[in-house]
Amino acid sequence: MTEPLFDRIAIVGLGLIGSSIARGVKARGLARRVAGYDVSPEVRARASALGFCDEVAETPQAAVTQASLVVLAVPVGATAAAVKALAPHLARGSILTEVGSVKAAVIRQVLAELPEHAVFVPGHPIAGTEHSGPDAGFAELFEGRWCILTPCERSSEEAVAKVTALWRGLGSAVEIMTPEHHDIVLAITSHIPHLIAFNIVGTAADVEEVTQSEVIKFSAGGFRDFTRIAASDPVMWRDVFLNNKEAVLEMLGRFSEDLAALQRMIRWDDGEALLELFTRTRAIRRGIIDAGQDTQAADFGRPHGHED
Ligand code: NAP
């Protein structure tokens, strides 16, 4: 049996991501003990009942004081409050990491509170489902997925190596990039697609000529996949857009220009241009399948195989 990577891991925020990390760490023996804390008493009670942590603490202090690794897994908008509550209690030499879907804004908030005697490794697992809360987590969530780490001025090389080992232990492949690059890449691959889904589902609900029962009845025509994405956690997505404003607005500008070009192609019966674009996009889809990134495992709001 190999030695666990960590003596004691504390996970703050026991929803989909936090509880999946706890479950994965336990299942793969990556730490001797896993402590958990959540601001919500209901979530704490549920986490205790589900038993994916060795102990569920009643305060952030009790969870983190003896931990060599602290994983913050709260909504992006709750980062500042959560870090303020736990930072003074971080153990000397401990590593703080987190999983927020936005990096630059989260890093700013964490660095404002991080004590001198701890280091910080920001991260983002590219895995999730449209479900949230402690019941939604499962140990295999990160298997075969990417986790992006975006080291900052308070990340030591040793800490980055340890957090990399954690994600590899959970079954993910790790890629390193700057926080700014992460925010642009995720704006186009995740944030804008979600925005489009929220928008189209909202528009369909407001189209007066089409009844709601028709929308539901004929949803297999393409709409159904959008509804799945648009069912993602409202708090999480509000926080993503408010905290990745610049990159999202930049990508949205480009998207709107391209949409206007498509509008022109249709108006001027430019079938050749439409065909050229649709052929190009079909090739991109093939590339994703070839890269093994189109799996049932829940990314981009797709439900996990055993949940649907
Ligand atoms: P979630 O299921 O809603 O879980 C978040 C938990 O954190 C909730 O139980 C919440 O309690 C708790 N919380 C809020 N403020 C807190 C605080 N100050 N201290 C301790 N706990 C607090 O959300 P999630 O999907 O796991 O997302 C967590 C993070 O992972 C987010 O930053 C998100 O951007 C990122 N992420 C999500 C996905 C995804 O697909 N879901 C993928 C990758 C990364 P309340 O419910 O009472 O507020």
CB-based contacts of 230, cutoff 8 Å, min separation 6: 194, 197, 198, 200, 201, 202
Which domains, and CATH codes, for the chain? 6-178 (3.40.50.720), 181-290 (1.10.3660.10)
Confidence of residue 295 (pLDDT cuts 50, 70, 90): low
Nearest CA to ligand 1 atom 8: 15
pLDDT digits (tens, 9 = 90+) for 214-260: 888 888 888 998 999 999 999 999 999 999 999 999 999 999 999 99
Mutate to test the pocket of ligand 1, among 19, 20, 37, 38 (most ligand atoms within 8 A of CB): 38
Mutate to test the pocket of ligand 1, among 23, 74, 96, 101 (most ligand atoms within 8 A of CB): 74
CA dist list (Å): 64 to 83, 92, 108, 209: 11, 11, 21, 56
pLDDT digits (tens, 9 = 90+) for 265-287: 999 999 999 999 999 999 988 88
